[in-house]
Each structure stands twice: as C-alpha cells, then as structure tokens.
A and B are shown apart, each in its own frame.
Chain A
Amino acid sequence: MNKTEEKIKALAAENPVSNWKEKVAFRKANKATLRQAAKVALRLLDALEEKGWSQAQLARELEVTPQQVSKWVKGEGDFKFSTIDKLEKVLGITIHVVLAEDEFVTTEEAFEARINEEVMAYHQRWTMTQEYLKLKNQVTNPQTVMAVSHADKDVIAMAG
C-alpha cells in the first residue's frame, strides 16, 4: 500500500486518526493566552517588516533556532520575561507593559476622538456664552430685550 492509499484509508476509516478534538479543547482552555500570543505575533511581524528583517535574521540576532521564531510568528509562543526583554531590545519595540491602577491603554484614534469631543463641548459652551454676552450688551437698551409684564395676579415668586 502506497502513501496515498494509506491516507485515503485513514480518511475513510470509522475512527479517523485525527486529534481535532484535543486541538479544540486546547484552544478553548488557552483562549486568553493564545489571543496574547497572536497579538505578539502580529507585532513581531510588523517590526520585522519595518526593519526589513527575515525571521532567520531575527533568529540569528537572538541566538535561537529559526523554528523557534517561526513558532512565535504563528502565534504559538509562550514567552519568558527574558525572551520578551531580548525581543524588545533587538527590535526596538514594546511588547509587555504593566499598567498601574490608574493607567489605561488608548489607541491614537480613541485619543483623537476624545480630543474632538472636548473641542466640540468647548465650542458648544463658547457658543452659549456668546449668546449671553450678546444679551448683556443689550441690557442697557430695554427696547431690545423681551418685555416683562407686571403680572400682579397669580404671583408665585415674590422673593428670590
């Protein structure tokens, strides 16, 4: 039986030789870790592109095997602090940040949106203030402001 025949036989078998169930279970159990690893992988690929380096070159710089680097960029890395430190130094990037209680991470877009919101709010406040100042300039000319009536009946607020 040649290799192709073996493969077909395995696929047609009642209990095919496949560990997909284990893989799914692993992904479920390590969801958060895998997400972090994927983020680091994307960051590494970006940094390599920016520097114009190959994965092999990075492996040489860090004195690790190319297979190791390949694992990292596939999102299968589980990093030690010492490895992260080396990667950050060699690539000139930040991978790991520990935030204090009152610190938060924001993206440039979110930051810009917040600034825009503040500018809009200031603009609205200023528009309103301008209206008041216009009214202030008219106070000395009673013809331009709304007439006030005597309203002797049903007076509610006698003192204020």
Chain B
Amino acid sequence: MKAKFSPLQLLDFKLLESHFEFLVTEESEIDIKELFQSYSVDIDFGIRNNEEAQEIQLFTMIQVNSGEEDSLPGYKIMVEGGGTFRIQNPEALEENLKNNLTQFSTLNMMINNLRNIIYQITNLGPMGGYLLPPIDITQLLRDKAERKK
C-alpha cells in the first residue's frame, strides 16, 4: 500500500540532554517485566508556534523512575529533546485537523523519538532495553491546559 505523506513535516530533531543511572538491587529474583511496568513516567513539554517562520517548535522531557527518594531498582532515566515541525499549506486544512497535527501529532512524534533513544540507551544496561509504554497524549495535553489555567 502506497503511503501518503502528511502535511505535517518534521524538520529537525535534537537530543538536548540525557541521564542514565542503574540502581543496583539486593534482590536476586526480580520480574523485570513487572518492574518496568511499575516505573513512574513523567513527561513535560512546551510548544511554541513561530508564526513568522510558520514553524512549530516543541521541547519534550521524559523522566522514568526518577522520583527523588522512592526510585525503584534498575533504570533511572531522563531524556530531553527538541523538534521543529511545519504544516504544509495550513490554509487548506480544517481547524480541527490543524490542531490535531500541531498538538497531538507533534508530541506523539517527539515521544516516539525519545522512546527510541531510551530503548537504545537501556539496551546496553544490565536489564536490557526498556520500552516506554504508550502514553495517553490527550491526558498530557489536558493536564498542560489545566496547568495554564
């Protein structure tokens, strides 16, 4: 099936910062899958619409198992990335679709890129690769909107 390109273009992606730590555990029997599932995930982001350049810039940070005191054994990770997007012919798009592309799709792509980076970093770690679970983007955007209020 031939894929149709989206009007949303990813112009640039950069990894800005990353921290990785492996917390050793005394326990000899650990269910890694279960452990990974109990990791907390914190995501923060900032979107800026540069109307002059018709570009959308998005900063995204993901923290995994990084509670200050109650971190679980295994991986403690933080990654930060920046991305630049552009919508081709925005005038030709409906407002709802434009909003979806600007907010949902951009954040979705950023999280996917950072997920890939997290997996690559942890894949060399003692417990193997950690795959960031799918994130509810709607809730993320909702939380951000609430914070603005």
Which residues in A have some Cβ–Cβ distance to B below 8 Å?
125, 128-129, 131-133, 135-136, 138-139, 142-143, 145-151, 153-160
B108 contacts the other chain (CB 8 A): yes
Chain B residues with a Cβ closer than 8 Å to the other chain, count: 40
Shortest distance in angstroms between B10's beta carbon and chain A's nearest beta carbon? 13
Shortest distance in angstroms between B144's beta carbon and chain A's nearest beta carbon? 5
How far, in whole Å, are A146 and B49 apart by their CA atoms in the complex? 7
Looking at the complex, which one of B46, B109, B134 makes contact with A136 (CB distance below 8 Å)?
A: B46
Looking at the complex, which one of B57, B105, B144 makes contact with A132 (CB distance below 8 Å)?
A: B57
Looking at the complex, which one of B57, B96, B145, B147 makes contact with A135 (CB distance below 8 Å)?
A: B57
Chain A residues touching B, majority SS: loop
Looking at the complex, which one of A138, A142, A145, A148 makes contact with B141 (CB distance below 8 Å)?
A: A148
Q: Given A157-B105, A159-B137, A160-B135, are A151 and B46 neighbors across the interface (CB < 8 Å)? A: no
Q: Is the CB of A145 within 8 A of B46?
A: yes
Q: Is the CB of A132 within 8 A of B148?
A: no
B119 contacts the other chain (CB 8 A): no
Q: Given A132-B57, A139-B59, are A157 and B148 neighbors across the interface (CB < 8 Å)? A: no
B100 contacts the other chain (CB 8 A): yes
B16 contacts the other chain (CB 8 A): yes
How far, in whole Å, are A55 and B58 apart by their CA atoms in the complex? 70
Q: Is the CB of B16 within 8 A of A133?
A: yes
Which residues in B have some Cβ–Cβ distance to A below 8 Å?
12, 14, 16, 44-49, 57-59, 61, 80-82, 84, 96-97, 99-100, 103-105, 107-109, 111-112, 134-138, 141-142, 144-145, 147-148
Given contact pairs A155-B104, A159-B136, enumerate 11 new A-B contacts (beta carbons under 8 Å).
A128-B14, A133-B82, A136-B82, A139-B46, A147-B148, A148-B144, A148-B145, A157-B104, A159-B135, A159-B137, A160-B135
Q: Given A136-B59, A146-B48, are A151 and B100 neighbors across the interface (CB < 8 Å)? A: yes
Shortest distance in angstroms between A133's beta carbon and chain B's nearest beta carbon? 7
In the complex formed, the residue of A with least CB distance to B99 is A151
Q: Is the CB of B138 within 8 A of A155?
A: yes
Q: Given A135-B46, A142-B144, A150-B145, are A157 and B100 neighbors across the interface (CB < 8 Å)? A: yes
In the complex formed, the residue of B with least CB distance to A153 is B96
In the complex formed, the residue of B with least CB distance to A144 is B46
Q: Given A132-B57, A147-B148, are A156 and B100 neighbors across the interface (CB < 8 Å)? A: yes
Shortest distance in angstroms between A102's beta carbon and chain B's nearest beta carbon? 30
Q: Which residues of B contact A157 (CB under 8 A)?
A: 100, 104-105, 107-108, 137
Q: Which residues of A contact B137 (CB under 8 A)?
A: 157-160
Closest 7 CB pairs of A and B: A132-B82, A160-B108, A157-B104, A139-B46, A135-B59, A145-B46, A159-B134
